[in-house]
C-alpha cells in the first residue's frame, strides 16, 4: 500500500474542521480563509482545496463535525426528554461558535451527522409518539428556529460586552418615544444573554407539542 504523507494526515476532515473552528473562534468570521487555514494546518493550499473546494464545503465540514457531538438518547427515552436533550445540546454547540453562525448565514444545514443525530431521530420519535408527518415537521421547525435564533442573537461567550452594547443603545433612545424600553433597562438588559430564557421557551414548545399529553393539538 502507498505510504500516507504527513500532509494528508494533517488534512483529514476532522483536523480541517477543528483548525477552521479555532480560527473563527479566535479571530472572528473574517479570520477564516483558505490560506490562513492551510497555514494553520501546515499544508499547501492545493492540498486543502482537494479536501473542500470552496467556503460552502468548508462550512459544511465544520458544521457536521460539531453535529457529531450531539447526543443519542437511549431507546425508550420519553419523547419530551429526548427532544429537550437534542435541542439543548445543539444550542450549546452553536453558542460556543458564534462566528460560525455568522458565516453560515441562510445556508441550509444538511450534513449527514445533523440529519442522523437530530433530524431523523426527532421526526421518527414524533411519528412513533402519534404525531402526523405535518405535526412532526412543524414541531421540529419551531424548536430548530428557536434554537438557531437564540444562539445567534448575541455572542454568548462575552455576555458583559453584549449587555453593555444593549444598554448603551437603549439608553440613547428618547424616553418620550420609547418609554417602555428606556424605563425598564434593569429588567431588559440581563435577558439578552440569559440562557434560561431559551430553555424556558424550548420547554414551552415541547409541552405544547408533546403528543403523549392531553394538551397537545
| pLDDT tens readout for residues 55-97 | 888 988 898 899 999 999 999 999 999 999 999 999 999 998 8
pLDDT for 108 = 79
Q: Cα 56 to the chain's mean position, in Å? A: 16
| pLDDT tens readout for residues 173-194 | 999 999 999 999 999 998 988 9
Q: What is the pLDDT along the chain (217 residues), one digit of tens a residue?
A: 444 556 656 678 899 999 999 999 998 889 999 999 999 999 988 888 888 888 888 988 898 899 999 999 999 999 999 999 999 999 999 998 888 888 887 777 788 999 999 999 999 999 999 999 999 999 999 999 999 999 988 888 888 888 899 999 999 999 999 999 999 999 999 898 899 999 999 999 999 999 988 555 5
SS3 readout for the chain: CCCCCHHHHHCCHHHHHHHHHHHHHHHCHHHCCHHHHHHHHCCCHHHHHHHCCCHHHHHHHHHHHHHCCCCCCCCCCCHHHHHHHHHHHHHHHHHHCHHHHHHHCCCCCCCHHHHHHHHHHHHHHHHHCCCCHHHHHHHHHHHHHHHHHHHHCCCCCCHHHHHHHHHHHHHCCCCCCCHHHHCCHHHHHHHCCCHHHHHHHHHHHHHHHCCCCCCCC
194 Cβ neighbours under 8 A, 6+ residues apart: none
pLDDT for 142 = 97
- How far apart are alpha carbons 172 and 170 in whole angstroms? 5
Residue carrying C-alpha cell 424616553: 175
- How far apart are alpha carbons 125 and 85 in whole angstroms? 13
Amino acid at each position: 500500500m502507498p505510504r500516507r504523507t504527513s500532509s494528508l494526515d494533517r488534512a483529514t476532515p476532522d483536523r480541517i474542521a477543528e483548525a477552521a473552528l479555532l480560527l473563527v473562534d479566535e479571530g472572528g468570521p473574517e479570520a477564516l480563509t483558505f490560506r490562513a487555514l492551510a497555514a494553520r494546518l501546515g499544508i499547501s493550499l492545493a492540498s486543502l482545496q482537494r479536501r473542500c473546494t470552496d467556503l460552502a464545503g468548508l462550512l459544511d465540514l465544520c458544521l457536521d463535525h460539531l453535529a457529531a457531538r450531539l447526543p443519542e438518547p437511549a431507546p425508550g427515552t420519553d419523547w419530551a426528554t429526548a427532544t429537550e436533550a437534542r435541542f439543548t445540546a445543539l444550542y450549546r454547540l452553536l453558542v460556543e461558535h458564534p462566528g460560525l453562525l455568522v458565516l453560515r448565514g441562510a445556508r441550509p444545514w444538511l450534513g449527514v451527522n445533523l440529519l442522523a443525530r437530530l433530524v431523523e431521530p426527532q421526526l421518527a420519535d414524533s411519528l412513533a409518539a402519534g404525531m402526523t408527518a405535518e405535526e412532526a415537521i412543524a414541531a421540529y421547525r419551531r424548536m430548530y428556529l428557536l434554537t438557531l435564533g437564540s444562539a445567534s442573537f448575541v455572542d454568548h461567550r462575552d455576555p458583559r460586552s453584549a449587555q453593555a452594547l444593549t444598554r448603551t443603545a437603549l439608553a440613547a433612545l428618547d424616553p418620550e418615544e420609547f418609554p417602555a424600553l428606556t424605563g425598564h433597562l434593569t429588567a431588559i438588559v440581563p435577558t439578552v444573554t440569559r440562557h434560561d430564557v431559551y430553555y424556558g421557551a424550548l420547554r414551552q414548545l415541547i409541552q405544547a407539542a408533546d403528543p403523549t399529553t392531553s394538551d397537545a393539538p
